[in-house]
Structure 1
Amino acid sequence: MSTRTEAVYDELRRELLDLSGQFEPGQRLKLLPLAERFDASQSVIREALTRLAEQGLVVATPQHGFSVRELSVPDLADLTRVRVQVESLALRQAIQSGDVAWEAAVVAAHHTLDRTPVDNATGGFNEDWAEAHRAFHQTLLAGCGSPRLEGMVTSLRDSAELYRRWYWALAHDHARDIAGEHRRLRDCAVTRDPDPAVAVLTKHIERAPRELIAYAQHHGLDGGPPQKPAKRPTATLGP
């Protein structure tokens, strides 16, 4: 990917994840207006959008081009099931085969995450926390010893990112002890205790999608009628 394409990709990704920003779910992403806006060729825009489609942030449809992904309950449920299976396998292998350097990296990545606030100075979502969160989970599973398995994990987590942001925007509060979940994951990893580690990871992965699906169904965002009375769920950002 060229430097120009990388810059366009980075900016589009940032805007797609900023739910109060430029784009609406389902919005068509036309090449020419984007090319004019970014002062780039349509081929650069197409390459950036193709990469974003691979990460699940946009949808590429033959004959129709690109559009912003919409909230899909079946897709989120399927994605969550597959993530649990793949990440559980990677975690078991990491605990079994990770060396001392891996243990040290897990502890260091967790320290950074634990010291990074979820909210930024203005009360919004802290992108530094998102990066520390991503790094901790990547480091935790990096000891699995399989580049292909790591690649699958990364691809699935990328596909879940927009759903995480929707969850943050729609149903966030501070009731959930996500920091405690991360501490338990760290402890299970460095003490080489795979069964409890997988149990913690499974709950960690499933919590936010379950609450987002409930929210979507409650408010008719899954294509069905909204339930009454409308009620805001009490949960916070998930994995």
Structure 2
Amino acid sequence: MEQSIALPPLPTAAELPDSDDTAVDNELQNLIPNLLLAILAAIWSDRQDWYFGVDMGIYYLPTAPRKSIVPDGFLSLGVERRRQPSGRLSYLLWEENWTPPILVVEVVSQTYGGEYDIKLSKYLDLGVLYYVIYNPDYWQRDNHAPFEVYQRVDDEFILQSQERFWIPELQLGIGVDLGTYKGWEREWLFWFDRAGSRFPSPDERIEQAQQQAQQAQKALEDLLHLLKQRGIDPDSL
């Protein structure tokens, strides 16, 4: 008779570090994925089946449950949007029904972090479908394009795009464009719709709302002026 050997229980998120405690080289490594998250939170506000993590540890090996990898940003589909009551401490595959991220984003900095080799191999093992590497400052040093998207094809990552890239599973494109975020006008990573129009940043949404309010106020003032010109008292209407 075969006897099964009981494996020790896998640790919970509360028992594991939520990141690798490695400081980022520059603020863009935090701002860029947070912008992608902020835009998703607006355009997918009615969806509860996705999660975007920023600088969060992903634990994916049951044989080495305390080993993690920490992307700058990652997106998972088919998981709970919110974990009550306090949210996620980290992303444990065994607590997410073994759902790996569909997309990972890495921002290359002055200290090279193995984005094109070590991390690429790890994300392949993890089961990631799309791997985005944004390298605006050191792409010549690394002999790569500033923006690259790799897609998992037959158990290997194949470079698909060095420009804007459409992801059918998300019904969104991802790419680079000029914009303003946190009051900083520069090149950022953005989400795009099917027609190629990019979704606005929070700063830009506020500016658009202000412009619409000003236009509405101007239209109202013009209407009141027209009524008065015709001898009509607006208060009598």
Under TM normalisation by the shorter chain, which class is it?
A: under 0.3
Structure with more relative contact order (C-alpha pairs < 8 Å, separation 6 or more)? 1
Q: TM-score, normalised by structure 2?
A: 0.23
Decide which structure has greater strand share. 2
Larger radius of gyration: 2
Decide which structure has greater helix share. 1
